[in-house]
Copies of this chain bind each other. A is one copy, B any other.
């Protein structure tokens, strides 16, 4: 029980945690789990994985304490754990954006089309003033599991033919699953091309929720 030994054990455990998020499929599953409770089958479909494979990745996430489960009839629902998971993902994202030129490019790519981001703080301010329309471009299913207060839901694919539902005067802020969800960037580009003033929310729904801000459910 000498000093260095303890430190070795601690670092080994932290490393285990890091490895738990060290696979693209698990990050993808985490992103979907972060939208709300989901069954294994649904998550497998959303992430494009086989059922058994998704199940095993999800179990790894559970062993690491990143997600929790609940049984509902014959299905098992996975949800994000209560611990500070979001900050870890945010830190990873930030470092990745800083270090990897290719990620910066991909992110910049969606900004190229004139897509500016708005921060959570500024959005809160604008919401207080009631001077902004919130547009949730995720599929209806995810919108139903929870969304920003007062948000309008028009899934990305339907946006073009439903533009008329949006009021013309106010600025629109679109948001999606997370910073790498392309729906909101595409939506903003489409809106601007059609004469709207629009920006995308910097983060996505899970970060909003993780920050403890108000969430509405259907």
A residues touching B (Cβ–Cβ < 8 Å)?
A: 3-4, 6-19, 21-28, 31, 48, 64-66, 81, 83-85, 87-88, 90-96, 98-100, 102-103, 106, 180-183, 186
Contact = CB atoms under 8 A, between A and B. Distances in A.
Contact of A96 (B13, B22, B96, B100): B13
Counting every copy of the chain, the complex holds: 2
Contacts of A186: 3
A130 to B, nearest CB: 32
11 contacts: A3-B182, A6-B182, A7-B28, A10-B106, A11-B31, A14-B92, A17-B92, A17-B96, A66-B99, A87-B94, A88-B92
B21 A15 contact: yes
A92 B18 contact: yes
Given A17-B99, A27-B11, A3 B183 contact: yes
A20 to B, nearest CB: 8
Nearest to A26: B15
A8 B87 CA distance: 21
A31 B95 CA distance: 17
A98 B23 CA distance: 22
B99 A91 contact: no
A8 B81 CA distance: 23
